[in-house]
Chain A
Amino acid sequence: MILRSALPFWVEADLLRSRATDALGLQNMADVLADKILPGLSVLTTRARYFSFLCWVRNRLRRYDELPIHKWEVALAFAEAKCHPKDDRTAGQPGGDNSKCRYIGSRNIFNYLDNRDRALRNPTVVFKNPAWRAYRPSMVSLGLIEDGSPWNLTETGQSLAREYEKAIRYRGRGITPLPDAACLSRISNGERRILRTVIGLNRRRIQDGDSTSLSVRRQFVCEVERRFGQNIASLSPDSVLQRYERIRMRGQTDLQKALHAAVIWEWLSLGLNVIFVGWSLEVHAGESHRFMRSLILRLRLMPRNRLPTHLTSIDALTKPETVGRALAAIRHALELLPDDHRVLFFGDDAYRAFEIGRRLLRDKSIALKGRVERFLRDLYILHQQAKGDQLWIVTGQSGNYKPALGPSLQIPPSVQPHAYRLSAFGQIVRDLGGI
């Protein structure tokens, strides 16, 4: 017996989207650690006054709708463009008038100064994704809005909205460009008081065992104050994390352990990412064998490889010296890792990444070439798992690697360290008048 008129179907692509530049999926662990260091914030929440502005906008809307919020954001961008014109030479420079005034839409808003109606009618022409989407999770976490649609304001959110309203004195009807007082840099005292409280900058005693996100942020502020004093002008992974490279594990707080874990993870990620991106670039240039030779040579000369001096972005990825530094970074991460990695890290992903490094540098049971081949294959598998269908390289017919073709191929020219929300937090603290 056979089936009758049973027609199969073509399988429609079920693609996995991935972060554009996170080639090996190491960002996930960085996010987990960032949640332990600065929970409730993100790398996108860089301006404190967006919180009060968005509370004010949400308060104005009777019914929740994302489009009007996006339009109000463009209205704010017009106000910013008026306060900080494009020809201002001090823009973006320390000490300049608008050095602190980074706002969303600054790239395109000047093209629409004469055609405001169009921009306000269709805000996506100025910027595609509203700031609301980036700030909303943090607003929930800070207790400014309720969790879940329609994202109603909490009491704190309503107070913040009232303070913003009081500060800008907006009398317009409909969505029109906002007054100068709406500028993100002119934060009022009332707003500052509320925001400092919800972010954890107010002097408040931390209860033992208090692990709410506010308490963890407060602990971080105390920790930063202890280490850096009041000077937090340069909160970056490089400046903060490297101070936690060598600490005693006993007697340390969870936050200090998380910072220690972050620096280890950063060295490992930097090493693996530099090698993988460099290799991908060489595969695209048809020179993958050259890269492999260089990697083998650098492994032979392992003791001579110098560690990068800072945890900052690295370019010239295909140069042998850069490869050597990447190997030194991996070795350094393995040296810093305690015997039982579960003290600091959990989950298979972290274990797998360390294991890849360990098998390259410490497993002497197979020849160097075999180790390098296995290492690259391991990296390729990580890449496959991280990028889904947006691979940079693919395996060819005879097992060799070749460039992937596709519309979304983005190999960055340099490798950036993970941000751990430190710079964003530093900017917010500056907006709110420092620690």
Chain B
Amino acid sequence: MGKVSGLSWIKTADKIHEFVNRHGREAPRRAILCTFDFNQQRFEDKIQTELTRAGKPFRTLVLVDAGELRKQLTCAGPRFQGYQVAPVRCRGSAVFHAKLIFLSAGSHHLVGIGSSNLTPGGLGSNLELMYFADDSDLSGQALVGGATHFLGELSKTTTVNLPQSARAFIRRSCLDITPREGVIIDSLGRPLVDQMVEACRGAGLKTIKTLSVLSPWHSGTNTQDQGDRGVLNRLQRDFSLRGKERIHLYTEGRSRRRGPRLPGIQVHVRRLDDLSGGADAGDGDDSAFDRIPARVHAKAYLARSSRDGVFFFGSANCTMPALVRSARKGGNVEILAATRLGKPDMPFLQNDLKDLFCPATSDGYETHPKRRRDEPCGNVLAAEFVRRKDYWELRLEAPGILRQKLFITGGDGIRFIPVWIRRGVGIVARDNALRLLRETFPESRADDWQPEVCCGVLYERIVNRSLPFPVSFPIIRPMEDEDPCTALESMLLEEMGRLRPCSRRGDSSATTPESVSASDHEEADDILAALAETHHQGELDRLAVRVAGLKKFLVRSKLGSRYIRQRTELFRQQISSMKQIRPHILREILRYLNFASIAAVGSPRNETQ
């Protein structure tokens, strides 16, 4: 593309690959991915393969906007295998638009933030900006803290609806990280534009000379990419930009370099000559063509003073619901990362903008921001199959419904089951639940079948329409709802880096990684065997075996004394929150774990790590 010096071009999957390669052996491994739009095949081909490499699976949760996910589910018979997809529903016509990748393996974390959805476009067909950092340096630690703050707020907020198991998983993933405010700004509580202005002031930018806005101005799909000129006026006012052409808009153009007609704003559109073969596109070599993205989808804002500037990039388009309204007031859920750029950093960005964009012609087209059409999303947000002692239960979540009767059905679409929803929750139990389970997951008919993390589809009948909603075996259950033995077993399995207790033939997720020594392998097998043996024993025995297993893993951890102390504290916190354990037993467990931690930290083997 004839660049002198500019931002680098990197594949998202490569960054994930790098992290998994370096730290993927350590457990527990968790991944949380936020996206507006979701393409199952692309995700599974490019990202999920990385997250399940060499028998080291990550427990993966994908948070997708509820409306977009419903479109995916309308396609016949989708199944999400090995990861949980959770819909996020915002108020009114607002959408969950944040794009975030959060991976944790043992004590290491990776955060990716930017404009990429988990779609073919997001993974490179569009012009997208992303930033990845792990916690190996201060800036990375700050970003990880920022992401934790956002995820923590998301799991707590009542402004958006997401399944309880997703909230529990997010909370558990963020337990051992200190959240930091201000690194990633979000629109959950306050409008982004206010926070952007504050960030500029906080960074010492007294007078802002220019504001460069990179945002799509019209969309090839029906997403939220429609720009809004009212927002530019608001930006001009809030950033105190005076005089003509203080805002530079970089956006998608139409034929013959036409851009939107915006008086007083310098409009640049995407160079079209790049798309018909750039300067580097050699004969017979289509790799150069592959690198030229078709459509502007990046979202970034650069506020500049005479010397330095503050650069915001992330998911927020230049629209009212994205920038000016908070999620509480009917805006989208958006996030932006803020970074201060010095004079040496500026040319990287400017060279690229110069290369990729050119001034628009004077015959601009009129812009009329469209309102997103409210589409019926159904009452049920999501459902989960839960195994009780000797029967199955289907738990429906329909937030906002106090008392109402709904009708749901499985794959056949003929036999409907009535379900009473009370305070947002409905339960289908025993025969009906079993029937729906068999219809949604036909493999459950096999004798040796064991539930694993996966999602299917059920339908809700509203008037004459069948509206799909996802049904899953959740990655984890909220700790307070769960039987303590099951919760402890889930914690133990996570420490062992496994998704489920028993391995099936040909199942890569349950195999032991090559890097694990034979003795470790045997030990893991011993613990699993002990777990299996206690299934028919009393509760106390089961608790004891699970706690002993946890201690064993803690003592043998090679990640250093600090890590062991942190994990012990974490386990203590989690176990303390289990209300169903009797107090005297709880006291003993906590004391036992404390001793374990002291024993481990005191041993010379761990100190040397």
Q: Which residues of A come within 8 Å of B, CB atoms?
A: 1-16, 342, 348, 351-352, 355-356, 359, 363, 365-366, 374, 377-378, 381, 384-385, 388-389, 394-399, 407-408
6 nearest A-B pairs in the assembled complex, by CB-CB distance? A13-B124, A355-B76, A8-B131, A3-B339, A11-B128, A6-B339
For the complex, is B293 an interface residue (Cβ under 8 Å from A)?
yes
| Cross-chain contact A14 with B12 (CB below 8 angstroms) | yes
Counting chain B CB atoms within 10 Å of each CB, the highest count among A5, A398, A399 belongs to A5
For the complex, is B91 an interface residue (Cβ under 8 Å from A)?
no
A-B contact count (CB 8 A): 160
Indicate whether A8 sits within 8 Å of B7 (C-beta atoms), given known contacts A1-B183, A2-B183: yes
With the chains together, A185 CA to B355 CA distance in Å? 59
Indicate whether A11 sits within 8 Å of B10 (C-beta atoms), given known contacts A1-B182, A385-B41, A395-B221: yes
| Cross-chain contact A6 with B114 (CB below 8 angstroms) | no
With the chains together, A139 CA to B77 CA distance in Å? 38
Which B residues touch A395, using CB under 8 A? 220-221
| Cross-chain contact B124 with A2 (CB below 8 angstroms) | no
Indicate whether A365 sits within 8 Å of B183 (C-beta atoms), given known contacts A7-B348, A378-B76: no
- A400 → B minimal CB distance (Å): 11
Which A residues touch B469, using CB under 8 A? none
| Cross-chain contact B310 with A2 (CB below 8 angstroms) | yes
Within 8 A of A (CB), among B288-328: 289-291, 293, 298, 300, 310-311, 313
| Cross-chain contact B220 with A4 (CB below 8 angstroms) | no
Which A residues touch B199, using CB under 8 A? 2
Which B residues touch A1, using CB under 8 A? 142, 180-183
For the complex, is B464 an interface residue (Cβ under 8 Å from A)?
yes
Cross-interface CB contact of A12 among B42, B124, B338, cutoff 8 Å: B124
Which partner residue on chain B sits nearest A385 by CB separation? B41
| Cross-chain contact A8 with B125 (CB below 8 angstroms) | no
Cross-interface CB contact of B203 among A2, A14, A385, cutoff 8 Å: A2
- A287 → B minimal CB distance (Å): 21
Q: Can you spell out 7 A-B residue pairs with CB atoms less than 8 angstroms apart?
A: A1-B181, A4-B340, A15-B290, A342-B442, A351-B77, A377-B74, A385-B40
With the chains together, A258 CA to B8 CA distance in Å? 51
Can you list, as one digit per residue, whether each of B535-558 has a CB less than 8 Å from chain A (1) or not (0)? 000000000000000000000000
Cross-interface CB contact of B349 among A7, A356, A398, cutoff 8 Å: A7
- A308 → B minimal CB distance (Å): 24
Counting chain B CB atoms within 10 Å of each CB, the highest count among A12, A366, A407 belongs to A12
Counting chain A CB atoms within 10 Å of each CB, the highest count among B41, B313, B345, B442 belongs to B41
Counting chain B CB atoms within 10 Å of each CB, the highest count among A11, A365, A388, A407 belongs to A11
Contacts A8-B300, A10-B293, A395-B221 given; 9 further ones with Cβ under 8 A? A2-B183, A7-B131, A7-B345, A11-B123, A12-B10, A16-B41, A352-B76, A374-B74, A394-B220
| Cross-chain contact A14 with B11 (CB below 8 angstroms) | yes
Which B residues touch A356, using CB under 8 A? 76
With the chains together, A388 CA to B181 CA distance in Å? 39
For the complex, is B90 an interface residue (Cβ under 8 Å from A)?
no
Which A residues touch B79, using CB under 8 A? 348
With the chains together, A351 CA to B75 CA distance in Å? 12
With the chains together, A368 CA to B348 CA distance in Å? 55
Indicate whether A8 sits within 8 Å of B313 (C-beta atoms), given known contacts A13-B124, A14-B12: yes
Chain B residues within 8 Å of chain A by Cβ, number: 72
Which partner residue on chain B sits nearest A398 by CB separation? B222
With the chains together, A16 CA to B119 CA distance in Å? 12
With the chains together, A15 CA to B161 CA distance in Å? 34
| Cross-chain contact A16 with B42 (CB below 8 angstroms) | yes
Counting chain A CB atoms within 10 Å of each CB, the highest count among B120, B128, B133 belongs to B120
Which B residues touch A11, using CB under 8 A? 9-12, 114, 116, 122-124, 126, 128-130, 293
Which B residues touch A385, using CB under 8 A? 40-41
Which A residues touch B120, using CB under 8 A? 16, 384, 388-389
- A25 → B minimal CB distance (Å): 9
Within 8 A of A (CB), among B238-276: none
- A181 → B minimal CB distance (Å): 38
- A349 → B minimal CB distance (Å): 9
Which A residues touch B8, using CB under 8 A? 9-10
Which A residues touch B220, using CB under 8 A? 394-397
- B314 → A minimal CB distance (Å): 9
Indicate whether A8 sits within 8 Å of B290 (C-beta atoms), given known contacts A1-B182, A356-B76, A378-B76: no
| Cross-chain contact B39 with A384 (CB below 8 angstroms) | yes
Which partner residue on chain B sits nearest A342 by CB separation? B442
Indicate whether A3 sits within 8 Å of B12 (C-beta atoms), given known contacts A10-B352, A378-B75: no
Can you list, as one digit per residue, whether each of B329-370 has a CB less than 8 Å from chain A (1) or not (0)? 000000001111110010011001000000000000000000
- A380 → B minimal CB distance (Å): 9
Which partner residue on chain A sits nearest B345 by CB separation? A5
Indicate whether A5 sits within 8 Å of B342 (C-beta atoms), given known contacts A395-B221, A407-B289: yes
